[in-house]
Structure 1
Amino acid sequence: MDASRSVPEPLRQIPNALTILRFLAIPLFVVLLVREQDGPSWAAGIVFGLAGVTDQLDGWLARRWHVESDFGKVADPLADRLMIDVCVVLLVVYDRLPWVALVILLRDLLLVGGYKLVVPRGYEFEVSRLGKIATWGLYASLALVLVTARDTWWPLALFWVSLALAVLAAAQYVAKAMREVRR
């Protein structure tokens, strides 16, 4: 029996609904962080952390219930990129991260732009294990930066490790796309 048929139709929509909630959480996150820009922001950190949890939950449910969708394959990583990028930009603006952290924006622009170029040519994008680990690390480290005092070293160290993994994952995506699109 097909596992997706055993899941009632309303429940099959939960993974995509969680992704949409992540998009909707971005403005709330911005408002909460702007209110407490100078110090730890537990409210913004909790919203950001919940976004990270929904990222894990929506993918797990979609795979478990076999209800992966074309929408989810595009929207899920896009919601993550936007949430993380907005967080990094605001933390740089509020001097909680150094400006070099904005390299994450370049990485994400490369991936989104590259995606638009290679998918019409037959490339099927799938998030790699390294990409997932990097995203988990970015969510965790940025949530910790949000809830700790300025210049607390250990969340920043976790952020730099996660950023390095994210850049490495991007390099792997580019290499895979170049191999597959040339065929």
Structure 2
Amino acid sequence: MRITVPTILTLLRIVMIPVLVVVFYLPYKWTPFASAAVFAFASITDWLDGWIARRYNQYSAFGAFLDPVADKLMVAVALLLIVQVHPTRWMALWAAVIIGREIAVSALREWMAELGEQARVKVASIGKFKTIVQMVALTCLLYQDRWLGLPIFSIGEWMLAAAALLTLWSGWAYLRAAWPVLARDARTDIG
């Protein structure tokens, strides 16, 4: 197994998950800022590991497997923390949509890979845009406080709603791309 700089950054992101949880529950005034900073740093490492891998051709099979796992774990944990502290029906709905879509798309990708059709469900630009909106939203929601008079938490709520809608849209795009294979296999199973 080859350990590359992008893989080290991905492993760092996984290590930061328990750090986020511990910091989130600290009883200090600076806790929201520290939680947002930990999450923002993890989000930046997500972008950075991909950039380094492409720029310096530092790909590895282990890194390709681990990167989406780290991303999904970090987002799911952040959503769970936020919903626990702000248990509104909208917050829970957006979290359920985002986590549910991640599980469904991961299963779809795995199944398509088994069929040798993984190229049909590669990451699209809408998925990348969704990720940016989602990461900024979660950073705002973890921060919670006002900043320069701006209602950061409210901005985060609206951005999380937008991220959930983009999540549905990108999930639909993945399903549409995979549909010819799904339909072909359904006909094969019936016939």
Is 1:19 matched with 2:10?
A: yes
| Corresponding residue of 2:111 | 117
Q: State the secondary structure of the residue aligned to 2:25.
A: helix
1:38–1:94 Cα contact (<8 Å) kept: no
Q: Which has the larger radius of gyration?
A: 2
| Corresponding residue of 2:174 | 173
Is 1:99 matched with 2:92?
A: yes
Distance 1:31 1:128 in 2: 34
Listed as ranges, the gaps of 5+ residues in structure 1 are: 1-9
Deviation at 1:167, TM superposition (A): 1.8
CA pair 155-84 structure 1, distance change in 2 beyond 3 A: same
Distance 1:173 1:158 in 2: 22
| Corresponding residue of 1:142 | 138
Distance 2:145 2:166 in 1: 25
Deviation at 1:116, TM superposition (A): 2.5
| Structure 1, 41-50 or 162-171: larger mean CA deviation | 162-171
Equivalent residue letter for 2:117: Y
| Alignment: residue pair count | 173
Distance 1:133 1:37 in 2: 34
Listed as ranges, the gaps of 5+ residues in structure 2 are: 186-191
Distance 1:38 1:87 in 2: 19
| Corresponding residue of 1:66 | 57
Distance 2:116 2:28 in 1: 44
1:15–1:58 Cα contact (<8 Å) kept: yes
Is 1:159 matched with 2:183?
A: no
Task: Give TM-score, length-normalised by structure 1.
Answer: 0.83
Deviation at 1:138, TM superposition (A): 0.8
TM-superposition CA deviations, 1:101-150 (whole Å, max 9, x none): 22211111112222232211112242211111111111111101111239
| Structure 1, 28-37 or 86-95: larger mean CA deviation | 28-37
| Corresponding residue of 2:188 | none
2:14–2:70 Cα contact (<8 Å) kept: yes
